Structure 1
Amino acid sequence: MLGAALTVAALAGCGAVIDRRADLREAAAEARYPPTGELIEVNGRIVHAHVEGSGPDLVLLHGASGNTRDFTFSFVDRLADDYRVIVFDRPGLGWTERASDRYGPWTPRAESPAEQAALLQAAADRLGVKTPLVLGHSYGGAVALAWGLSRPDDTAGLIVVSGASNPWPGGLGPMYRIIGSSWGGALIAPLISAWSPYDRLNAALEEIFAPDPVPPGYARHIGAGLTLRRESFRANARQVNTLRPHVVEMSERYPTLPMPVEIVHGTADDVVPIDIHSEPLARQIPGANLTRLKGVGHMPHHAAPDAVEDAIHRAAARARLR
């Protein structure tokens, strides 16, 4: 009995140490990377929106492990002369809260693309956004498609960049499976938040950008420490871990999308392969236009920004916004 009590006390002590270190690292990340835009309360949840420019409304949705800073690094500056650009942190990431309190540490469920789109649409409504163009990158592509499916008459056009749009064969990496589980999210996520070395984040960025280089200054700008916060780390892993059944269901409705759709994808993307996602998507949506970027990886808005900007302008022209 005494041995069991000592074991429990030791584990509790270790947990306290881990939580204290995670608290300190999270506080440091939040102090270094504060919100750059407006914090909007929507149905009791906080949504972070970075707004710049003037013109037709253009919503930007980032990918997994990301936040608004992925777009504010350089891409928003290219667009703000022609559009009012609204960049959202997706639920659980950056400075946007989870969509519901039911997504706790021990809950493996996560916000669907449709649920994420609904929360961000409500925030967009609060900002007076009217019939926007919606661009989604990577996981954000699934959310952009969900946005269009839920508001087909109030979405001017979609731009899907390296988007996760269709079911893929096989499973995900072990980290997604572990953190996506009940016990992994509750017990392992705090360990990673507390102790993961920041130089590993640089290696992760190199893998995401490959074969293209990470732009100078990007690692300092992106605020990867925000993604390592316990709640964000859990949210990201569980959203990715539960995505596949949602795109299975959504893909059956892609042919009903009535708005102009521009798709941009690098042929060297090993994160979200073009042959599994964008090539089928181009066939599923009547009138969709697919731009293949030869030799470009997963981050075309950094590696080939002219091509992505051109796709936005084409969507705007097709929607008669320009």
Structure 2
Amino acid sequence: MLLILTLVAVGLVIVVQWRASAREAAANAAYPPIGELIDIDGVKVHAKVQGSGPDLVLIHGASGNMRDFTFDMVDQLSDRYRVILFDRPGLGWTDNLPQHAGAWNATAATPHEQAALLQKAADRLGVSNPIVLGHSYGGAVALAWGLSRPDDTAALVLVSAVSEPWEGDLGWQYKITGSAFGSGIVIPLVTAFVPQGFVRASVGAIFAPQHTPDGYSDHIGTGLSLRRMSMRANAQQVNTLLPEIKKMVPKYDTLTMPVELIHGTADTIVPLDVHAAIATPQLPDAVLTTLPGIGHMPQHVTQPDVIAVIDRAATRAGLR
């Protein structure tokens, strides 16, 4: 009996891993790199450059990749900015940092580690004194970027950004998938079997109370986020973010460059009153724009407002 159970278990593992690999291969084929892969100390960083003008770095949020910005936003900026997009470590086509990789790993690249990697890639691209925009989790990376390079960061733009400690936990999903057990056992099951309808519903929840723009889910390549490497990196990064934010907050008063924050009042994922409303007075030269009734994705649902704060950041930094 024990032998039979062992054989069944081995068979199930083989089926799960085979199906997960097949779905990953399909996602990779459907959504190949749209930029260049830069080797940074053996880590591939996916970067894309478009346009001309002052340098503007865009950093995406959790579970995403640079395609969030290429959906429709970059084309509205590249006539007057040199826009530089990156996939964050473990997401899109950027490798995870080797010390945080592996099926049974439960550690994560911190915002500072992520910023350091992207800064090295930016240096290769000749980026100088950029405006750095971060959305959601990417806002924490943008803040880390500014803290580590205060004299070479023209301005920060924080869109629906995580910037402050929060009360409570992140829910059972992140607890499980961010653990070593979840990384090794649960995530392969999700990659192998999660239905596409569930994925689209999850995207819809991120946009709530607004609707997902037509074509967005197909453009961003949700299958890339469901790959085992990306699910592990994302879960672990989100799961370990709180202590990193607590370390950064006491240093916010050193961020003397212009900072623009823009945040929807109906954002339930990164609430305004927990994050931007508290961070604004902690930052010496910050301006907060609130968007009544807008949720977590203003860069799509009220894009002119986001572009306006980017332009204002450029003006305040003396770049326009």
Same structural fold, with TM-score higher than 0.5 when normalized by the shorter chain: yes
Cα RMSD, aligned residues only: 0.8
Distance 2:3 2:284 in 1: 65
What amino acid is aligned across from residue 29 of structure 1 in structure 2?
A
- Structure 1 spans left out of the alignment, 5+ residues: none
Residue 163 of structure 1 is matched in structure 2 by 161
The answer to whether the Cα contact below 8 Å between 2:100 and 2:109 also exists between their aligned partners in 1 is no
Deviations 1:11-69 (A, max 9, x none): 11110100000111000001000111011101110000111100010000000000011
SS at match of 2:16: helix
SS at match of 1:6: helix
- What is the CA-CA distance between 1:219 and the residue it aligns to? 1.0
What amino acid is aligned across from residue 310 of structure 2 in structure 1?
I
What amino acid is aligned across from residue 148 of structure 1 in structure 2?
G
Distance 2:38 2:6 in 1: 42
Identical aligned residues as a percent:
57
Distance 1:5 1:163 in 2: 52
Deviations 1:139-188 (A, max 9, x none): 00000000000000010100000000111110002111100001011100
TM-score (norm 2): 0.99
The answer to whether the Cα contact below 8 Å between 2:100 and 2:106 also exists between their aligned partners in 1 is no
Deviations 1:204-224 (A, max 9, x none): 111100011111110110100
Match of 1:310 among 290, 302, 308: 308
SS at match of 1:253: helix
- What is the CA-CA distance between 1:103 and the residue it aligns to? 2.6
Residue 202 of structure 1 is matched in structure 2 by 200
- Whether 2:36 is the aligned partner of 1:32: answer no
Aligned ranges 1:128-167 → 2 under 5 Å = 128-167=126-165
- What is the CA-CA distance between 1:233 and the residue it aligns to? 0.5
Match of 1:237 among 235, 238, 244: 235
Residue 216 of structure 2 is matched in structure 1 by 218
Residue 92 of structure 1 is matched in structure 2 by 90
SS at match of 2:319: coil
Residue 104 of structure 1 is matched in structure 2 by 102
Relative to 1, partners in 2 of residues 1:73 and 1:102: Cα closer, same or farther, differing over 3 Å? Answer: closer
Distance 2:102 2:213 in 1: 35
Match of 1:124 among 119, 122, 125: 122
Residue 47 of structure 1 is matched in structure 2 by 45
Match of 1:60 among 26, 37, 58: 58
- What is the CA-CA distance between 1:10 and the residue it aligns to? 1.6
- Structure 2 spans left out of the alignment, 5+ residues: none
TM-score (norm 1): 0.98
What amino acid is aligned across from residue 143 of structure 1 in structure 2?
V
- Range with bigger deviation, 141-150 or 96-105: 96-105
Aligned residues: 320
Distance 2:106 2:192 in 1: 21
- What is the CA-CA distance between 1:98 and the residue it aligns to? 0.3
Distance 2:63 2:100 in 1: 21
- What is the CA-CA distance between 1:102 and the residue it aligns to? 4.0
Relative to 1, partners in 2 of residues 1:102 and 1:213: Cα closer, same or farther, differing over 3 Å? Answer: closer
